[in-house]
């Protein structure tokens, strides 16, 4: 019988791509999402790609009674927990909202897992836990630095909650995945990133500027200590990232490791600067991008990229998409979105 996976936040950006990969690998998926940062139309896109409509329950993970009823209704083998609020700036303005949403959601899941015999949880963490690295590429043994935002702190505390709970003897396993900068969209352009309002992240801002929704991209700083002066990131294709979750779930549920908690960096292992990424966009879109250099954005890390050897060797996962194909997928998705609006 197919294994049943609860995907929280499954209509969101990374969640929807992961649901596609899970269904294509033969898993049954139940999505819960409160649609606070996504749209139920995503389910149509997933269905068109996979030929199968995932079960969807519009629920809030912070609602313990509703989550308990869900666990009772379905017999989950494992969980992938994406549901969280993720805007760094907003978290500075509304810290309690971030702590409540991101911490209570996880605590509810952990509390219910042993009660209903759910064996494992894959958790979405972030390279933000490393702060400004002392050296790059960065591996999983690097120290976690004090968080620079309530959002970043929720990731650190969530990691600690998982570790503490498992160390207390809870009969569950967990794989913590630290994503670098996920970008791009499914090559079919049926699903992709749907930023609400003005995008805070670089790639949606680039594609919206390319298509004319935004007038000009502001590049935050060209005076960093990097070869071209702009910041450096490890941009990881979202489909590559999604595939890592399928491998992680299988590893966890089939007890392939004796460790009850494992941490993996998910990145390409290559750093690319903001200005280099703009050049890639110009190449794949065939048009120049209107951008200007402005001052640094407060709180930005100068440079960070992953040492993904542990994920490569232990998980057997590797990022394979080129940055050109990845930016082309982001551009195709942007064009698809605009066609939908015009129709
Ligand atoms: P997203 O906002 O697209 O997806 C998150 C989904 O969770 C949304 O659909 C939202 O409606 C839902 N949600 C939020 N709170 C909920 C709640 N209480 N109950 C039910 N649903 C809820 O974000 P994403 O980019 O897909 O990120 C997924 C996860 O990965 C998040 O935990 C995020 O912090 C983490 N992450 C993201 C990035 C990134 O750059 N996108 C990087 C590192 C880590
Ligand atoms: C990338 C680079 C900007 C927008 C954030 C979170 C992090 C993680 C991923 C979840 C930076 C520059 C951006 C723009 C720009 N999320 N930039 N003009 O800051 O690496 O990470 O998202 O865990 O926690 O902090 O991503 O896409 O915002 O920025 O020049 O309009 O692009 O300065 O150097 P970041 P980003």
Average the pLDDT over 274-290 and give the result.
98
* Upper half-sphere CA count for residue 25 (Cβ side, 13 Å): 20
DSSP labels for 251-298?
A: HHHTT--S-SEEEEEES-S--EEHHHHHHHHHHHHTS---EEEEPPPT
Q: For residue range 3-54, what is the model confidence (pLDDT) as tens digits?
A: 999 999 999 999 999 999 999 999 999 999 999 999 999 999 999 999 999 9
Residue 110, pLDDT score: 98
Least Cα distance to 315 among 237, 263, 260 occurs for 263
How many A from CA of 177 to the centre of ligand 1?
14
Residue 342, pLDDT score: 59
149 Cβ inside 6 Å of ligand 1: no
Residue 340, pLDDT score: 74
Residue 141, pLDDT score: 97
Within 8 A by CB and 6+ apart from 309, the residues are: 139, 269
Q: Which atom of ligand 1 is nearest to the CA of 61?
A: 19
- Alpha-helical segments (H) within the chain: 13-24, 42-50, 64-73, 88-93, 95-99, 105-115, 150-167, 202-211, 238-253, 274-285, 309-310, 323-342
Residue 343, pLDDT score: 54
* Upper half-sphere CA count for residue 186 (Cβ side, 13 Å): 25
Residue 39, pLDDT score: 95
Cα 15 versus chain centre, distance: 7
Average the pLDDT over 44-68 and give the result.
98
Residue 1 or 116, more confident: 116
How high is the mean pLDDT of the chain? Answer: 97
**What is the CB neighbour count within 10 angstroms for residue 72?**
11
82 Cβ inside 6 Å of ligand 1: yes
Token digits for 20?
A: 């596609």
Are the beta carbons of 195 and 281 closer than 8 angstroms? no
Token digits for 86?
A: 């993720």
Q: Which atom of ligand 2 is nearest to the CA of 274?
A: 32
pLDDT band (50, 70, 90) for residue 196: confident
Q: For residue range 318-332, what is the model confidence (pLDDT) as tens digits?
A: 999 999 999 999 999
- C-alpha–C-alpha distance, residues 30 and 195, integer Å: 23
Percent pLDDT > 90 in the chain is 97
Which ligand has the nearest atom to the CA of 232? 2
Token digits for 14?
A: 């990374």
- The answer to whether residue 341 scores a pLDDT higher than 90 is no
HEC string of 172-185 equals CEEEEEEECEEECC
214 Cβ inside 6 Å of ligand 2: no
202 Cβ inside 6 Å of ligand 2: yes
- Tell me how far apart the terminal alpha carbons of the chain are, to the nearest angstrom: 42
Residue 93 DSSP SS3: helix
Which ligand has the nearest atom to the CA of 191? 1
Least Cα distance to 123 among 138, 109, 137, 141 occurs for 109
């Amino acid at each position: 019988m197919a294994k049943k996976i609860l995907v929280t936040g499954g209509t969101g950006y990374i969640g929807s791509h992961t649901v596609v990969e899970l269904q294509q690998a033969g898993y049954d998926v139940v999505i819960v999402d409160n649609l606070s940062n996504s749209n139920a139309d995503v389910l149509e896109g997933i269905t068109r790609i996979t030929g199968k409509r995932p079960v969807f329950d519009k629920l809030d993970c912070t609602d313990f009674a509703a989550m308990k009823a869900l666990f009772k209704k379905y017999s989950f083998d494992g969980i992938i927990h994406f549901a969280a609020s993720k805007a760094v700036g907003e978290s500075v303005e509304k810290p309690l909202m971030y702590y409540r949403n991101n911490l209570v959601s996880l605590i509810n899941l952990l509390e219910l897992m042993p009660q209903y015999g759910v064996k494992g949880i894959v958790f979405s963490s972030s390279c933000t836990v490393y702060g400004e690295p002392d050296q790059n590429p960065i591996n999983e043994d690097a120290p976690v630095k004090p968080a620079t935002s309530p959002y970043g702190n929720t990731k650190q505390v969530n990691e600690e909650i998982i570790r503490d709970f498992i160390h207390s003897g809870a009969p569950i396993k967990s794989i913590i995945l630290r994503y670098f900068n996920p970008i791009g969209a499914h090559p079919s352009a049926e699903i992709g990133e749907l930023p609400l309002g003005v995008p805070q992240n670089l790639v949606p801002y680039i594609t919206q500027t390319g298509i004319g929704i935004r007038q000009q991209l502001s590049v935050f700083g060209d005076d960093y200590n990097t070869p071209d002066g702009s910041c450096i990131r490890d941009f990881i294709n979202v489909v590559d990232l999604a595939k890592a979750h399928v491998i992680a779930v299988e590893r966890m549920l089939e007890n392939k490791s004796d460790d009850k908690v494992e941490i993996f960096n998910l990145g390409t292992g290559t750093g690319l600067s903001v200005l280099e990424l703009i050049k890639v966009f110009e190449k794949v879109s065939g048009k120049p991008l209107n951008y200007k250099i402005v001052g640094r954005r407060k709180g930005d890390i100068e440079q960070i990229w992953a040492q993904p050897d542990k994920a490569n060797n232990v998980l057997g996962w590797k990022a394979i998409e080129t940055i050109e194909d990845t930016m082309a997928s982001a551009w195709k998705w942007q064009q698809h979105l605009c066609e939908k609006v015009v129709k």
